[in-house]
Structure 1
Amino acid sequence: MPIVHHRKASFLSYPLWLGSRLFLRPTLSLWPLNRPGMAGLFLIDRLIAVGPKPSGVVRESMTLADRPVELIMPSGPSRRDAETAVLYLHGGAFVVCGLGSHRSIASRLSRACELPVFSLDYRQLPKAGVGASVADAVAAYRELIEERGYRRVIVAGDSAGGFLAGKVVEAAARDGLPRPVALLGFSPLLDLDSGTHPDRSSRSDAYIPQRKMAALTPLFERGPVPMFGVRRITALAGPDFPPTAIITAEGEFLEPDAIDLIELLDAAGVDAVAHSYSWQIHAFPVMTGSHPETVHSIEVTAAFATQAIREAKDADERKDKRAG
């Protein structure tokens, strides 16, 4: 089955879910979406960035496609693949979070996959709309392939970053670039208009309020770069889509789109799986550190990525032999 349900929750899951419901959800519901309100959210990333630094990795600040990026690599001996990398695209509804808030998840992926992870600081609201975010993600992917020497790139992201990962897949097909080796999503946003759908509800979500998502939707159109292509990633589902693994919280607001994508890909013959965890919060692998569901979700995601890389390498070797 392409949908794997994990319904036995760890004890730590319950206070985390309840705390998010009682405190985080009301805060998000009331937070103003005017320019000062959105601009002030950068402090969240700054505050998290001064916290404890992830262990087992080395980090380097650099630029990728003229945007700040943090390169994270496993420290110590590893079976590192010099031709494969991960492009990580952080979440935050295109308005909040950045390199600091997502340093932990990027580091855990780097250690688990034994790969370099490029965590991208793309443009977002209030300065730029989703078109600019997409353009930055696509430009970063292109540079990794065409200038940095990576033959295989995995695209990964949580929440809004999941939408950007899907748009990279779309752009690669449009521009004749090698498709990503795999797409990894943690509670991905797959539909820019999810907040305005009358048949959707966020009643069972720990902290995402649908009304706030609906209020954000018109802001996504802000320039300076118009967005190309689809607004719903499920429209791209087909046999040419890369292998895809998605982690969701059971009953969260964005889960129906994730399930739809996985089922469509499975029907098209694409290797695709979703792991749905009960009593978790949206993007819990990013929000939590070492509780059992986070550890397990990283393990299954890394195993999926490793298998996708192995199959891509085999395909590359066959291609090289034919060319030789």
Structure 2
Amino acid sequence: MSITRHGHPSVGSYFVFLFLRLTLRPLLSLWPLTEAGMSILPKLDAKITDKAPSPRGVVTEWVTLGGRRTELTMPAGPSRGDCDTAILYLHGGAFVVAGIGTHRGITGRLSRATGLPVFALEYRQLPEAGVGTSVADALDAYRELLTERGYRRIVVAGDSAGGYLCGKVIELAEGAGLPAPTAWIGYSPWLDLDADANPDRSSRSDSYLSIGKMRTLVPLLDRGPVALAGIRNLVDVDPRRFPPTILITAENEMLEPDAIVLAERLMAAAVEVQLHSYAWQVHAFPMLIEDLPESREALRLTADFATAAVRAARNTDTRGADARDEQVG
């Protein structure tokens, strides 16, 4: 494992951090987590989805995946030759806000950088449904990519709450009779649903997340209609189930301590893992602020990591096929 700390932030990073600290953090702290308050947020994302432009260098189309509306993003121009691999992207937003429109930038850039199709799933979330339902939607989408759409290798990627869904897919895939993902890309992943499980967790230095607001949100996460399967805290999942993993965090953000613990456990289990911690960045910055040099670097690191993991998996498949041919011969 390597934990790489990136100091010397760009000048723009300071302005972004302070701006969000002074504006978005108070707004999120005051936003009511009532039925009315939560119901407004999907309507806002729907407007963003309708108006958000597609990133340059990709083409998009709407498909249905696991019974849910999904945006498929593909590189424009000739294929790079890998038609057996796809990325399943699961957006963040605390299981309450955000969606395909807010994340169109990161899915487009990931597709362009890896040369792979990216499926961005519109999973159910609050106030319609709790986390168990979100997990079920993510697992259904993962299953369909493998069993009905012909993909042999799936990279799961997500930010914040979407990172939690990626981890649940990793945890539950084997029990569902499915192969493990080829790799996991996690941008500031939310790993533990409970607010106070890690004593090192604090929001004092976080740009816009509030641990007090998380405590208010936690009881709502258990809303049905589908109960949460498996473990609430992904740090406690058997580390041998994890594929090659790369995690990007903002230094001292509220969710970073859990990511560090998970990375250490994966390292102890000899799972390939990288964690990159960036000073003076904001939660899920590669998705949120794409023009910063740190965001561009994080995207490059994660795309290169996924590409290498896919290449290694493909080579393993080829060696296995050659060995079987020799046995038959």
How far 1:238 sits from its partner (Å)?
A: 2.1
Is the contact between residue 2 and residue 263 of structure 1 (CA under 8 Å) also seen in structure 2?
Answer: no
Residue matched to 1:33:
33
Residue matched to 1:81:
82
TM-score, normalised to structure 2, is: 0.96
Is the contact between residue 81 and residue 115 of structure 1 (CA under 8 Å) also seen in structure 2?
Answer: yes
CA distance, structure 1, for counterparts of residue 290 and residue 156 of structure 2:
22
Q: What does the per-residue CA deviation read over 1:182-206, in whole Å, with 9 as the maximum and x for residues that have no partner?
A: 0100000000013565552100000
Q: What does the per-residue CA deviation read over 1:14-55, in whole Å, with 9 as the maximum and x for residues that have no partner?
A: 110001100100000000000010010124323433134311
CA distance, structure 2, for counterparts of residue 161 and residue 143 of structure 1:
18
- The answer to whether the aligner puts 1:5 opposite 2:5 as a matched pair is yes
How far 1:254 sits from its partner (Å)?
A: 0.2
- SS of the residue corresponding to residue 11 of structure 2 reads coil
Residue matched to 2:70:
69
- SS of the residue corresponding to residue 18 of structure 1 reads helix
- SS of the residue corresponding to residue 23 of structure 2 reads helix
Residue matched to 1:307:
308
CA distance, structure 1, for counterparts of residue 306 and residue 247 of structure 2:
11
CA distance, structure 2, for counterparts of residue 225 and residue 39 of structure 1:
20
- SS of the residue corresponding to residue 71 of structure 2 reads strand
**Which runs of no fewer than 5 residues in structure 1 stay unpaired?**
none
How far 1:297 sits from its partner (Å)?
A: 0.2
How far 1:173 sits from its partner (Å)?
A: 1.7
Is the contact between residue 71 and residue 100 of structure 2 (CA under 8 Å) also seen in structure 1?
Answer: yes
Q: What does the per-residue CA deviation read over 1:160-217, in whole Å, with 9 as the maximum and x for residues that have no partner?
A: 0000000001111212211100010000000001356555210000000001111110
Residue matched to 1:209:
210
CA distance, structure 2, for counterparts of residue 127 and residue 80 of structure 1:
40
How far 1:318 sits from its partner (Å)?
A: 1.9
Residue matched to 1:267:
268
Superposed CA RMSD in Å reads 1.3
Residue matched to 1:319:
320
Residue matched to 1:166:
167
How far 1:122 sits from its partner (Å)?
A: 0.2
CA distance, structure 1, for counterparts of residue 202 and residue 258 of structure 2:
12
CA distance, structure 1, for counterparts of residue 34 and residue 124 of structure 2:
17
Is the contact between residue 237 and residue 261 of structure 1 (CA under 8 Å) also seen in structure 2?
Answer: no
- The answer to whether the aligner puts 1:20 opposite 2:23 as a matched pair is no
Is the contact between residue 198 and residue 257 of structure 2 (CA under 8 Å) also seen in structure 1?
Answer: no
4+ aligned runs moved over 6 Å, structure 1:
none
Which deviates more from structure 2 when the two are superposed, residues 17-26 or residues 46-55? 46-55
Residue matched to 2:147:
146
**Pairwise mapping of residues 101-250 of structure 1 onto structure 2 (< 5 A)?**
101-195=102-196, 199-250=200-251
Matched residue type, 1:33: L
- SS of the residue corresponding to residue 194 of structure 1 reads coil
Q: What does the per-residue CA deviation read over 1:256-301, in whole Å, with 9 as the maximum and x for residues that have no partner?
A: 1111111111111111001111110000111112210110000000
Is the contact between residue 162 and residue 190 of structure 1 (CA under 8 Å) also seen in structure 2?
Answer: yes
CA distance, structure 2, for counterparts of residue 198 and residue 244 of structure 1:
24
Is the contact between residue 80 and residue 115 of structure 1 (CA under 8 Å) also seen in structure 2?
Answer: no
CA distance, structure 1, for counterparts of residue 186 and residue 278 of structure 2:
14
Is the contact between residue 185 and residue 246 of structure 1 (CA under 8 Å) also seen in structure 2?
Answer: yes
**Which runs of no fewer than 5 residues in structure 2 stay unpaired?**
none
CA distance, structure 2, for counterparts of residue 164 and residue 33 of structure 1:
21
Is the contact between residue 70 and residue 99 of structure 1 (CA under 8 Å) also seen in structure 2?
Answer: yes
- SS of the residue corresponding to residue 40 of structure 1 reads helix
TM-score, normalised to structure 1, is: 0.97
CA distance, structure 2, for counterparts of residue 93 and residue 119 of structure 1:
16
Distance 1:195 1:57, change over 3 A: farther
Matched residue type, 2:297: H
How far 1:223 sits from its partner (Å)?
A: 0.4
Is the contact between residue 195 and residue 217 of structure 1 (CA under 8 Å) also seen in structure 2?
Answer: no
Is the contact between residue 63 and residue 69 of structure 2 (CA under 8 Å) also seen in structure 1?
Answer: yes
CA distance, structure 2, for counterparts of residue 29 and residue 321 of structure 1:
58
Residue matched to 2:298:
297
Report % sequence identity: 56
Matched residue type, 1:25: R
Distance 1:196 1:171, change over 3 A: closer
Q: What does the per-residue CA deviation read over 1:50-83, in whole Å, with 9 as the maximum and x for residues that have no partner?
A: 1343111000001001100000000012414100
Matched residue type, 1:284: F
How far 1:240 sits from its partner (Å)?
A: 3.4
- The answer to whether the aligner puts 1:51 opposite 2:52 as a matched pair is yes
How many residues align structurally? 324
